[in-house]
Amino acid sequence: MRRSTVLAASLFLAMPLRVLAQTDLSAYADANGYLDVQKLTCAQLAGTWQGDADLLTAWYSGWYNGLARKHFLDIRKSREAEHEIIQYCKTNPDRLIIEAIAVVFKDMRAKLGIQMQP
């Protein structure tokens, strides 16, 4: 019994562990420290630290709200959108983040019955 336990433990310790490394957003910045937010991929968002993902999604939210000339923040919807974007990005790592945002926003608007004007 003891021998099989020791054997099982040694086999477990010898197995390679798959560790998902987080990458700082700064790794994707240019020489001046700027991120090209229109070229960032879902894999980059899904593979960064939660704090960096929060920062990035808050920036995108401000960008989209600025384009829409809106100056309000719905904290609940913002958190829900961030979660949905990250989930979408985890399953679609090759897509651009701006494409993921478009998909998630379209789905959220449809769910709320919001019609977009041309």
Instruction: Read off the DSSP letter of residue 27.
Output: G
CATH topology of domain 17-112: 10k-s Protein, Hypothetical Protein A; Chain A (1.10.890)
For each of the chain's 118 residues, which pLDDT tens digit applies? 555 544 444 444 444 434 457 999 899 999 999 999 999 999 999 899 999 998 998 898 888 888 888 888 888 988 999 999 999 999 999 999 999 999 998 898 888 887 877 6
pTM: 0.74
Q: Would you list the domain boundaries of the chain?
A: 17-112
Cα Rg of the chain, angstroms: 20
Kind and range of the H or E run holding 51: helix 50-67
Best CA proximity match to 85, nearest among 73, 77, 71, 97: 97
Count, residues in the chain: 118
What pLDDT was estimated at residue 13? Answer: 45
- DSSP string of 53-109, one letter each residue: HHHHHHHHHHHHHHHTT-----HHHHHHHHHHHHHHHHH-TTSBHHHHHHHHHHHHH
